[in-house]
Structure 1
Amino acid sequence: MGKPAGRRILVAVVAVLAVAASVAVVLRVLAPAEVETVARGAYPAAPTPPVGVIGRLPVAPLVVDGRLRVYAGARQVYADQPVSGKHRVTPFWSYRRWPARLVGVLAEGTTVVSRWSDGKLVALDARTGRVAWRAEGPEPGAVPKPRRTYAATVWDPAGLHVTRAADGRAVLVAVGADAIGGYALADGRRLWRAEVAGDCRADLGTTAAGELVGVDSCAGPATVEFRDAATGAVRTRWRPPDAPEQLVVTPVGCRDGHSACRGLRTSGRGDETGRGWLVPSEGEPVAAPALDGPDAELDGEHAVSTAGGVVTGRSARTGAELWRRADLGAVRILAVEPGRVYLLTEGRALITLDPATGAERSRFVLDIGRDGVGWQPGRAHAADGYVAVERLREGARADDDDQGYFLMAESVLLAHT
């Protein structure tokens, strides 16, 4: 005999309710969402830690306002404090999105801008972690999968740059696969948008003169293009004298990542030397021979080079030698920030010099506990007198997996100079 009608109806209702509940759970889990966890405590004061290595971290910190450390994850941007803490601790604030992935983080003052794989731009107030504004940006092109430290995401965010317009306004520029957008950093208002051909051009960063610099090869030989970051209008198109057909352009003298850069280095494919140029407030770049070569860096008007085992400071504009240090041995430039150039010795000592005078500001070995100095440097970041550097295994190669690439789980050292 069949089941009574009432029982069959009850079973059907239960089945429908079960399916509906499952659908609700799936939708709740997979539906687009964001989670904003704001700070519960007061904004910390800026500490004054002693000079030396502060601690080690598993992920790369972006030092913000001399008070916080901001980190990236696959779908999260978060901060801890104090900036001088020995280890990463419970987040001070956190912001998550789903299902988009985080592709870049940039900080200007107390504004932290995050960029996501769907093009969304979300600005957070570093003091509270609250969302300050949201904006629709161009979807980014292909971004390499970050390594486990997320150093590239926070120290050199792909296609995300900031600069100052002629009137002093902070302008954010987001470069996508086929479009570029300019935004007012204060409120996220879009200032302009330009559709571009992504397969024959590369936009590299912003200049201190308020421009977006790129290389355009869509209609002929590769040409350097300077676009007003506040309006989107192309100001200048320029090719270096005797430039090769395939032109490689590298921004130098940048404040963070490829933002607010004061110079360029141009070269051809396979050319490791290159020619240095200063970017003026108007007109074409000006030759700066003191920036020729990959071992020269720029801080404002001062070029510092480590060529030939001698550290030399020169006027970037005239090339005149300002100072010379032959007592430091074999060193390489690890990072530069305004008023400081950081040199790394073969013995893994970090030496901080004044780029204007060559005077030594601090010196100590980048070591903590019993970790030792048997490592090679990876990416590095400097801000507000703090320096962070990835420690790689000796002999690590770019195609190694993370286990074989990094020295240990807490592979990032943080130091105060």
Structure 2
Amino acid sequence: MGFPTGRRRVVTALAAVLAVGVAAAIVYRVLAPAEVSTVARGAYPAAASPPVGVIGRLPVAPLLVDGRLRVYAGTRQVYADQPVDGKHRVTPFWSYRRWPAKLVGVLASGATLVSRWSDGTVVALDARTGRVAWRADGPEPGPVPKPRRTYASTVWDPAGLHVTRTADGRAVLVAAGERQVGGYALADGRQLWRVDVPEGCRSDVGTTATGELIGVDACAMPTTVEFRDAATGAVRAHWLPPGGGRGLAVTPLGCADGHSECRGLRTDGKGDDPGQGWLVGAGEPVAAPALNGADAQLAGERVVGSTGGVLTGRSARTGEELWRRADLGPVRIIATQPGRVHLLTERNDLVTLDPSTGAERSRFPMDIGRDGIAWVPGRAYAADGYLALERVREDATTDSDDQAYFLMAEPVLLAAT
């Protein structure tokens, strides 16, 4: 004996409503904004002292934090593993995820790990535990090119994310978007300032070691280099370098990490202009001819450059040659860090020199196992005495997909120098 027709319709309607409600609940749980923080269960690891040489092979690019952790990026995740000198990537030490926003940049300063997301949110983590230290509403970033599978651009060159220090030693985080730029106290995320900027005609380059944000302002002719106080957001100066104007490009040099706390820059104009080097500080940029040309890099107070198979070290301020090495053959300068300049030879040997004297600190093949040396260098990163390097196939182009671009599934080598 079944239900009467009227009751059957009521039951059917209730069942349909219940099904819709359950489906809605499931959709909400899956698609609703969410944050998942998995903190560290173990103690903060000690700094390692690995032997000189290649120590690891990784599928993704590591950001080294405090000489103790390796931090990695994913589409919607930032996570760390340890030990810092592990041969392979291992189970995360801690992990932080957000949904539906995407991760667009990661920056480390001491034990503070700052992540920037596609909705503009800035989240700082205590790298020692993975716990959220603070959150801030930052300017929404502009379009960011999709990173390759190593996420090297996300962790080694974070778009629109820089740190610097004021004259009194306070650390300031600067987040730049297409329409706004903001400054935040790195210690607690407190917003110091936020300003609107013209869209489409201005770009940020990095920060100086003396507390300023460097930008390129093409909103009015001629194009100028803008220096903005990172503590207040006020523009201190618009500077027009010789030969500047439309088409002016600015490359930061001698940066502590990524494009943060830079001590120099190179300006490039139109055509065959080889570029002009400058030292930047509290006043107007000072010409540094030793930095002219793309083959010269700033390492502390020294300019290291290679010409015709001869490597030289010069005073950044006077241009005086202080040392030269003609015994290395053709080399490529791939990275610098305090007290070290890293070179790659034609046979893919990694040579590390003291930039002050030219003395060799280490030399070894950038190889592990039986991987071989039939590759060309991609992005590189150096910190805490380590160097990480992408290996790219010799026939790869910028249009190649990741399978054809990288040498293998684990294309990043980590070396102790």
Q: TM-score range by the shorter chain?
A: over 0.9
Matches of 1:156 and 1:3 in 2, distance apart? 70
Question: Which is further off, 206-215 or 236-245?
Answer: 236-245
- The residue correspondences of 1:243-262 to structure 2 (distance < 5 A) are 243-262=244-263
Matched, 1:71 2:65: no
What is the CA deviation profile of residues 361-387 of structure 1, one whole-angstrom value per residue up to 9, with x for unaligned ones?
000000000000000000000000110
Structure 2 residue matching 1:259: 3-state secondary structure:
coil
Contact 2:79 2:96 in 1 (8 A): yes
Matches of 2:13 and 2:268 in 1, distance apart? 73
Structure 1 residue matching 2:267: 3-state secondary structure:
strand
Report deviation, 1:27: 0.6
Question: Closer, same or farther in 2 for the Cα pair 1:94/1:272, shift >3 Å?
Answer: farther
Question: Which is further off, 115-124 or 269-278?
Answer: 269-278
Contact 1:393 1:407 in 2 (8 A): yes
Partner of 2:334: 334
Matches of 1:270 and 1:72 in 2, distance apart? 38
Structure 1 residue matching 2:308: 3-state secondary structure:
helix
Amino acid at match of 1:357: T
- The percent of aligned pairs where both chains have the same amino acid is 74
Report deviation, 1:245: 3.1
Question: Closer, same or farther in 2 for the Cα pair 1:14/1:360, shift >3 Å?
Answer: same
What is the CA deviation profile of residues 66-95 of structure 1, one whole-angstrom value per residue up to 9, with x for unaligned ones?
000000000000000000000000000000
Question: Closer, same or farther in 2 for the Cα pair 1:396/1:272, shift >3 Å?
Answer: farther
Matches of 2:28 and 2:243 in 1, distance apart? 60
Matched, 1:148 2:129: no
Matches of 1:74 and 1:108 in 2, distance apart? 22
Partner of 2:410: 410
Structure 2 residue matching 1:298: 3-state secondary structure:
strand
Amino acid at match of 2:249: V
Partner of 1:96: 97
Matched, 1:306 2:306: yes
Matches of 1:29 and 1:60 in 2, distance apart? 29
Partner of 1:80: 81
Partner of 2:213: 212
Contact 1:106 1:114 in 2 (8 A): yes
What is the CA deviation profile of residues 114-141 of structure 1, one whole-angstrom value per residue up to 9, with x for unaligned ones?
0000000000000000000000000000
Matches of 1:16 and 1:218 in 2, distance apart? 57
What is the CA deviation profile of residues 36-84 of structure 1, one whole-angstrom value per residue up to 9, with x for unaligned ones?
0000000000011110001100000001100000000000000000000
State the TM-score, normalizing by the size of structure 1. Answer: 0.98
Partner of 1:180: 181
- The residue correspondences of 1:126-137 to structure 2 (distance < 5 A) are 126-137=127-138
Matches of 2:273 and 2:246 in 1, distance apart? 16
What is the CA deviation profile of residues 177-221 of structure 1, one whole-angstrom value per residue up to 9, with x for unaligned ones?
110000000000000011001211111100011100011121220
Partner of 2:231: 230
Partner of 1:108: 109
Matches of 1:101 and 1:221 in 2, distance apart? 36
Report deviation, 1:3: 4.4
- Aligned-residue Cα RMSD (Å) equals 1.2
Report deviation, 1:272: 6.0
Partner of 2:395: 395
Question: Closer, same or farther in 2 for the Cα pair 1:4/1:276, shift >3 Å?
Answer: same
Matches of 1:199 and 1:351 in 2, distance apart? 42
Amino acid at match of 1:314: R
Report deviation, 1:395: 2.0
Amino acid at match of 2:231: A
Contact 2:205 2:215 in 1 (8 A): yes
Amino acid at match of 2:280: V
Contact 2:391 2:411 in 1 (8 A): yes
Structure 2 residue matching 1:7: 3-state secondary structure:
helix
Structure 1 residue matching 2:364: 3-state secondary structure:
strand
Report deviation, 1:307: 1.7
- The residue correspondences of 1:317-396 to structure 2 (distance < 5 A) are 317-396=317-396
Matches of 1:198 and 1:164 in 2, distance apart? 27
Matched, 1:297 2:286: no
Partner of 2:191: 190
Matches of 2:391 and 2:4 in 1, distance apart? 70
